[in-house]
Amino acid sequence: MDKITMEVVRSDGNKTRYDLKFRKGMTVLDALIEVREKQDPTLAYRHSCRMGICGSCGMNIQGMPRLACQTQVSSLGKETVRVEPLHGMHVIKDLVVDIDPFLAMHTFVKPYLIRQDLKERDRSDREYRVLSEEVERFLQFDYCIMCALCYSACPTVALDPYYLGPQAIGQAYRYMADPRDEGWEQRVDLLDEAQGVWRCHVAGSCSLVCPKDVDPAKAVQMARMEILKKRVLRKRAKAGSPLVSVAPAAAPKQGTKAPPFDFRREGT
């Protein structure tokens, strides 16, 4: 392959075609940069790190949400590369989409460690210990780079803009599974909503397109289990059963015992 054609869907819905010389190792982002530098300075797209870390170069390439900087032109197996903005998101210009709704969902699930004692952060003699087997419960969800590919690929997001989406649920679960976190009850309630985990139709496209091999579809299922567990515990509490401890009264001692809930299933 000596030449390629970049077929870019622009803001007005029309396609613009750019012919380029193919170079070995050329990524879709390299091609777009060349187009903007040498042929069309009006072409708009986002990028920053060029190494699959910042998550800003997400776009639809050959019909699939992908990172442009991680997609080799040669891997697509075609001389014409079709590039569109991410689906299901409002287009600002050309390949630049509005990620505010996506970020709003992310923020909504409180993607940070919640602790009861707010003063402890000022104490330099305190550390939060986590065992490596405890880290395994949430580590893969930490790899999320917030590129919004999963959000764009999700058919439920496309139908219901108020659905939290796979990324936000994945992040909520990441902190729910962290033994240092004390916000489990709050997050379970945030997810146990019509537009929360129950809206997911388990299409699995979120996990399929993730460039970091995060599995948000799994997070949705695990969060559902936690919600059901909480409902049972609340019912028991109502019935006066002694088994009412939904969450520990005090912070669990870090790194010394399992958290008050077990996210791992046999064979996972």
Q: Which residue has the tokens 């903007």?
A: 36
Distance set, CA 251 to CA 43, 183, 247 (Å): 52, 11, 9
User: In this structure, what token pair is assigned to residue 248?
Assistant: 């520990």
The Cα angle at residue 140 between residues 105 and 220, in degrees rounded to 5 = 50
Residue 52 or 255 having the CB closest to ligand FES: 52
Candidates 57, 146, 149, 191; binder of ligand FES (CB under 6 A) is 57
Half-sphere exposure of 28 (CA within 13 A, CB side): 31
Residue 53 or 104 having the CB closest to ligand FES: 53
Residue 53 or 139 having the CB closest to ligand FES: 53
Q: Return the range that interacts with ligand FES (CB under 6 A); candidates 46-54, 95-103, 202-210, 229-237.
A: 46-54
Q: Does residue 110 bind ligand FES (CB under 6 A)?
A: no
Residue 71 or 171 having the CB closest to ligand FES: 71
Q: How far is the CB of 28 from ligand FES (least distance, A)?
A: 10
172: helix, coil or strand?
Answer: helix
Q: Does residue 148 bind ligand FES (CB under 6 A)?
A: no
Q: Is the dihedral of CA 82, 51, 58, 199 positive or negative?
A: positive
Q: Does residue 67 bind ligand FES (CB under 6 A)?
A: yes
Residues of this chain that bind ligand FES (CB under 6 A)? 47-50, 52-57, 67, 69
